[in-house]
Amino acid sequence: MKKQLIILSFSIITISLLGCLVQQNGTYTKTQLKTKSDKVIVTGTVYDTDKNNRTLPGAAIKSTDTTFLTSTDKNGKYHIELSPGKHILRATYIGYRLNSTKPINLVKGDSIILDFFLKDAKQHTTN
């Protein structure tokens, strides 16, 4: 069990570091709800936009102002609790481009559904 946790931690750190090296691209959607919690609850799904919006299990989700990160479950869904304040959330997955939100001001009691749509890193964009 301990060995599996070490391997999982290493995988998540590797995904996070690789995500910082790839070009940011993709989109996200945000829906805001209210709860009575002192924390801000962010949930959502990470999708592959190039494969008919299939979900991406094992994608890493992180707020740029914390060291804590989480990963999506086998259905591509994640759940993270954050403190109120401004946050930039990032989704990364091996072989896909990093996707970040713009700064989001999270208020005590917010519950946000934030879905990420990642693009394959191999595809080239023309501007």
Higher per-residue pLDDT: 119 or 50: 119
Question: pLDDT-based confidence at 98, cuts 50/70/90?
Answer: very high
Cα 89 to Cα 24, 48, 62, 122: the distances in Å are 12, 17, 6, 23
CA 41 – CA 33 distance, rounded (Å): 10
Contact of 39 with 115, CB cutoff 8 Å = no
CA 88 – CA 65 distance, rounded (Å): 8
Average pLDDT of the segment spanning 108-122: 88
Q: Would you say residue 1 has pLDDT above 80?
A: no
Q: Would you say residue 5 has pLDDT above 60?
A: no
Average pLDDT of the segment spanning 11-24: 39
- Which residue has tokens 């080239």? 124
Question: pLDDT-based confidence at 121, cuts 50/70/90?
Answer: confident
Q: Quick one: pLDDT at residue 108?
A: 84
**Which pTM does this prediction carry?**
0.68
